Amino acid sequence: MNENLRKCLNCLSDILFPGNCPVCEKEPYQDGLGYMCTDCEDSLPWISKNGCKFCGIPMSGFDFNGLICAACRDDKPQFLKGKCMFLLDQNGKKVIHEIKYHGVKDVLKDLPRWLDRCGNYREFIEDSILVPVPLHRKRLKKRGFNQSTWIAGALGKEMGGRVEVSDALTRVRDTPTQTKFDRRVRQKNVKNAFALSKKNSLNIKDKIVLIDDVYTTGATLNECTKALNSKGFKNVYVATLGHG
């Protein structure tokens, strides 16, 4: 898309659907292109190098693909590998909250710029089926949207024909929010909470990348992986925006 046309469309979008930069809360599109201010985008703790092969957290002093952090060594995830974009410091949390709790989908228009900052994130999800972590129908009805579906859709749009997006999982138990639970309680809370949808077009040989907004302990993503593993899907990866 022509840059000038994009600026005009972004300005029109802000008039019709006003919002603010999630970090500094000033008007969006200060440069006409990015919903988030360039300086605010620069301030986020981007994960640009290799980290833990499972959760993606940076490991100080290392840039080697295959290292495993202490948390993942103690409790090895079920999926094969993971990737995250940024750490959830104060500013990183603001970005997630703007999407997840305020329902500002326009923040994800910046996703192509985010991908440019995150090493081989594009290559990581390439040639895969992106499967968003589902909400239970009651939670979805109350909230009105699933942020993981938004993220998967934005990634799919950016990647074009190099990925597909599929709502192949369903949430069969309406579990309490994980926010205030520790690792063990989180694991118990989401145990057997997910299942493969009866109407899905997945092939057992597909590369599956589970998509969620954040990676905290990995409990939810693990349970989603188990649901896929139980049906014979072994090539399962995970990708999120934040880590913390």
Q: pLDDT at residue 51 above 70?
A: yes
Q: Are strands 194-196 and 169-171 parallel, antiparallel or unpaired?
A: antiparallel
Q: pLDDT at residue 2 above 70?
A: no
CA distance readout (Å), 126 to 27, 155, 163, 228: 34, 10, 6, 19
Q: Mean pLDDT of all residues in the chain? A: 89
CA distance 69 to 54: 8
Could you tell me the pLDDT band of residue 61, with boundaries at 50, 70 and 90?
low
SS3 22: coil
Lowest-pLDDT choice from 31-40, 61-70, 83-92, 226-235: 61-70
- The β-bridge partners of 51 are 58
pLDDT of amino acid 53: 92
Contact residues for 169 (Cβ-Cβ < 8 A; gap 6+): 131, 132, 133, 134, 194, 195, 196, 197, 224, 227, 228
Q: pLDDT at residue 17 above 50?
A: no
Report pLDDT digits (tens) over 133-183.
Answer: 999 999 999 999 999 999 999 999 999 999 999 999 999 988 767 776 676
pLDDT of amino acid 49: 83
Q: pLDDT at residue 8 above 60?
A: no
Report pLDDT digits (tens) over 199-224.
Answer: 899 999 999 999 999 999 999 999 99
H or E segment at 131? strand 128-132
Lowest-pLDDT choice from 25-29, 101-105, 112-116, 218-222: 25-29
Q: pLDDT at residue 1 above 80?
A: no
Domain ranges of the chain: 1-43, 45-243
Could you tell me the pLDDT band of residue 66, with boundaries at 50, 70 and 90?
confident
pLDDT of amino acid 16: 45
CA distance 168 to 187: 22
105, 111, 112, 113: CA torsion to nearest 10: 120
Q: pLDDT at residue 239 above 70?
A: yes
